[in-house]
Chains A and B, each alone.
Chain A
Amino acid sequence: MSASMSEPGLRRLEPFRAIFRGYPAAAAGLVGVVICALIALLAPVLAPQNPFNQNELDIMNGLLPPMGEMMDGSVSLLGTDAVGRDILSAVMYGMRTSLLVAILSVSIGMVVGVVLGLVATMRGGWVDAIIMRAVDLTVSFPGVLLALMLLAVFGSGVDKVIFALAIGIWAQNARLVRAVGLSEMKKDYIAAARIGGISDLRIMFHFLLPNAISPVLVILPMAISGAIVAEATLSFLGVGVPITEPSLGLLISNGNDYLLSGRWWISVVPGLVLVLMVLSINVVADRLRDHANPYLQAKG
């Protein structure tokens, strides 16, 4: 509409910084998140080896422990797996797959959920009833189980995992937006907009959306870390991403067989990276949520 509505830009960064001031754990988490994102983005440049290029793998390098010397004389920092794949490289590429799946599934789930939540709020009546029954149907199953069943039916693959996870996510967002939206709808500024002859579409996107979106944004990091764990779990169980594009979960699963024979690094290293990534996102998410909680904020 006017310039003021695009104002949230630079000035929003200042309060953002203030959220993390005085919270070292959350700030460290933020740094961790940035590092993970950079590694995932730059994996092809940073990784010593392309772990999925068969020509670069040599079975003679198999099962080297961390700091083990490879055939070509280079040192494998974090060891290798059974087919001679460098764990460090595999983990970097695995982070890429894990983050990609999580971000895409959350984005799809969020957009679909927010729009349907808004529509249910604005339209009410039977539209609302249908959308909310679909939400009830979806949220009565835990996300992982829902995805597991969907993948059991439709088969696995990166696109199918994204789709299966998004189905668990849209419903939460739709429910959240509708709950907040309904309380906003009772407020006088919406009545004022109606009396002011403003169309439903404008009310939906310029009045309702900006005021109902914050709880969705607050749980967004939590949703991403949840999706990372869910994808890892599915891939660990063997119904997630294919072996050609292994995520962290699949790498852990591959190493699982060697765990009892003492070759712990194959599964522990990707596991630790997974935990650190999820932990970083969660401490940031916790901080954001506490910051948004009026009961805690009032106490300063």
Chain B
Amino acid sequence: MMSFVLRRPGQSAILLLIMSVLVFAGMYVISDPVAVMAGEDATQADRQALAAALGLDRPLPVQYLTFLGNILRGDFGTSFVYGRPVLDLIFERLPATLEVVFLAMVLGLAFGIPMGIYSGLNRKKPATKLISMVTTIGYSIPNFWQALLFILIFAVWLRVLPATGRGPTTEFLGMQLSLLNPEGLRYMLLPAANLGVALICMQTRLARSGTQEVMYQDYMMFARAKGIAPPRLIGRHLLRNILIPIVTITALELGTLIAFSTVTETVFSWPGIGKLLLDAIYRSDRPVVVAYMILITLMFVLINLVADIIYAILDPRIRYS
């Protein structure tokens, strides 16, 4: 079990290293930062001076090592647009992203798992057909268009929820959170629902297929044969088995939610790291893009690691081998 958990950090370190090479290659080698920074009407001398100031006249491996060294010291450079350290910018906006993702995840689990188990157990009931129809449609509506529809319906036509922006926040442990502010929560509902719909659909499908698969295992028939009543059969024998993939994939899904928060945050003008990334891409704010990529890779490495550990804890076949 320990070796199983310890095997990963090594791989993860290599993954991070490869990612840093790719980002470096993409940002510093393929495109020319001097041309972007110096602007159209810079002279040849200006360009050379700038290149020397940025250390771009040195050999590539040296440049890469400098780049890597800075990152390891936590120095991701200064934003061209905001003129502030990139890391500060990202950590300032991270809570806004995480709280929306958190709420979406709660929605996904709270609705998805019960709906999935119900439709897995009752294949022929009308409610199952309805659930299946709704999830297929929900799954087929692209995230961004669904966000537009939400705004059109709830903000423009019904006028019950604010369309965009973050609204008031409450400070908690040094973070600004909307979750703890009743008015702020109103601003959060549409973005969280927007992220949550796809998750609900996915959890429903996952729980449904897991239920269908587990219900046909010999041990479920044997449990019935030995006189176990349905509540325990479902609450213990079934749930304990299907939770393994659900919890593991949900942990991994955290990454997907963070990815799609770029879309959600853009449509709802929600000031999280996703919107920060897109603004940086539009305005060629390279240090922000680089920092986002490296940090998001780190975050994904951690998420994968946590998912593996959860999997090992939940499944005794892995725990004791």
Which residues of A does B touch, CB under 8 Å? 25, 133, 136-137, 140-142, 144-145, 148-149, 152-154, 225, 229, 232-233, 236-239, 249, 252, 256, 259-260, 264, 267-268, 271, 274-275, 278-279, 282-283, 286, 293, 295-296, 298-299
Q: Within the assembled complex, what's the spacing in Å between the Cα atoms of A286 and B204?
A: 14
Contact partners of A296 in chain B: CB under 8 A:
212
Q: Digit string of B286-306 for contact with A (CB within 8 Å is 1, else 0)? A: 000100010011001100100
Report whether B259 and A282 are in contact in the complex, using a CB–CB cutoff of 8 Å.
no
The winner among B15, B136, B144, B293 for most chain A CB atoms within 10 A is B144
Contact partners of A148 in chain B: CB under 8 A:
259, 262, 277, 281
Report whether B281 and A275 are in contact in the complex, using a CB–CB cutoff of 8 Å.
no
Report whether A259 and B260 are in contact in the complex, using a CB–CB cutoff of 8 Å.
no
Contact partners of B149 in chain A: CB under 8 A:
271
Total contacts A-B at CB 8 Å: 113
| B50 contacts chain A at the CB level, 8 A cutoff | no
Give the dominant DSSP class at A's interface.
helix
Report whether A225 and B140 are in contact in the complex, using a CB–CB cutoff of 8 Å.
yes
The chain B residue with its CB closest to the CB of A134 is: B18
Partner of B15, one of A140, A142, A149, A293: A140
Report whether B212 and A282 are in contact in the complex, using a CB–CB cutoff of 8 Å.
no
In order of increasing CB-CB distance, the 5 nearest A-B pairs are A153-B26, A145-B259, A279-B140, A142-B259, A271-B145
Q: Within the assembled complex, what's the spacing in Å between the Cα atoms of A178 and B115?
A: 33
Report whether A233 and B263 are in contact in the complex, using a CB–CB cutoff of 8 Å.
yes
Known contacts: A145-B296, A233-B263, A279-B136. The answer to whether A154 contacts B145 by CB under 8 A is no
The chain A residue with its CB closest to the CB of B18 is: A137
Known contacts: A145-B296, A148-B262, A237-B278. The answer to whether A140 contacts B255 by CB under 8 A is yes
Q: Digit string of B3-24 for contact with A (CB within 8 Å is 1, else 0)? A: 0000000010011001100010
Q: Within the assembled complex, what's the spacing in Å between the Cα atoms of A74 and B225?
A: 73
A to B CB contacts below 8 Å, 6 in the list: A229-B143, A237-B144, A271-B148, A275-B142, A295-B216, A299-B123
Extra A-B contacts (12), CB below 8 Å, given A145-B258, A225-B140, A279-B136: A137-B18, A140-B301, A140-B304, A142-B255, A142-B260, A144-B263, A145-B296, A149-B293, A152-B289, A153-B27, A229-B143, A278-B142
The winner among A145, A237, A278, A283 for most chain B CB atoms within 10 A is A145
The chain A residue with its CB closest to the CB of B215 is: A295
Report whether A140 and B300 are in contact in the complex, using a CB–CB cutoff of 8 Å.
yes
Interface residues in B130-146 (C-beta closer than 8 Å to A): 133, 136-137, 139-145
The chain B residue with its CB closest to the CB of A148 is: B262
Report whether A282 and B139 are in contact in the complex, using a CB–CB cutoff of 8 Å.
yes
CB distance from A221 to the nearest CB of B (A): 12
Report whether B282 and A275 are in contact in the complex, using a CB–CB cutoff of 8 Å.
no
Q: Digit string of B47-62 for contact with A (CB within 8 Å is 1, else 0)? A: 0000000000000000
Contact partners of A238 in chain B: CB under 8 A:
282
The chain A residue with its CB closest to the CB of B163 is: A260
The chain B residue with its CB closest to the CB of A150 is: B26
CB distance from B206 to the nearest CB of A (A): 13
Contact partners of A293 in chain B: CB under 8 A:
209, 212
CB distance from A5 to the nearest CB of B (A): 33
Contact partners of B119 in chain A: CB under 8 A:
none
CB distance from A268 to the nearest CB of B (A): 8
Report whether A237 and B213 are in contact in the complex, using a CB–CB cutoff of 8 Å.
no
Report whether B255 and A137 are in contact in the complex, using a CB–CB cutoff of 8 Å.
no
